[in-house]
Amino acid sequence: MKYALLFSEPETEFARREGADAEAYWGAWSAYIDELDNSGALVRGSGAGLTPPHSATTVRLRQGIAQIHDGPISDTKEQLGGVVVIDVPSLDVALEWAQKAPCVSSGAVEVRPVLPPPQP
């Protein structure tokens, strides 16, 4: 079954992407993604890291009028930092992978089943 792992991080973790902590930050993520890939669980081409929340633009359509705002959808302490899709036998296995993510100790990992393709 396919699951999306949505990685959320606080601003302090986004800040580690540059500067003195960048090598350790990216090294941890590279090791994690490599482990997922080497296990065969990673759905190749499914993942992407995201730029920090301040770079987001949110669009809503209300009564036919577009409302465009700088910033993420919600102003929370943790923001979406990236996503991958894995293909594993069960939710329990997906949860095991989520617990290994570098962001899980300072942020969170949401595990969500991926909808199957529509049947003709």
pLDDT in tens, 17-51: 898 999 999 999 999 999 999 999 999 888 888 88
Three-state DSSP at 22 gives: helix
What total number of domains does the chain contain? Answer: 1
- How high does pLDDT run on average in the chain? 88
Confidence label for 74 from pLDDT (cuts 50, 70 and 90): low
Domain of residue 102: give its range.
2-113
Q: What length does the chain have?
A: 120
> 103 and 14 in contact (C-beta within 8 Å)?
no
118 or 88: whose pLDDT is higher? 88
120 is a domain residue: no
Q: 3-state DSSP: the chain helix, strand, coil percent, rounded to 5?
A: 30, 35, 35
Residue that is written with structure tokens 């329990």 in the block: 92
Residue 56, pLDDT above cutoff 90: no
103 is a domain residue: yes
Indicate which CATH number applies to the domain containing 42: 3.30.70.1060
28 is a domain residue: yes
Task: Using the CB atoms, write b or e for 92-105: b if 16+ within 10 Å.
Answer: ebbeebbeebbbee
Which are the contacts of 4, defined by CB distance < 8 A and separation ≥ 6? 83, 84, 85, 110, 111, 112, 113, 114
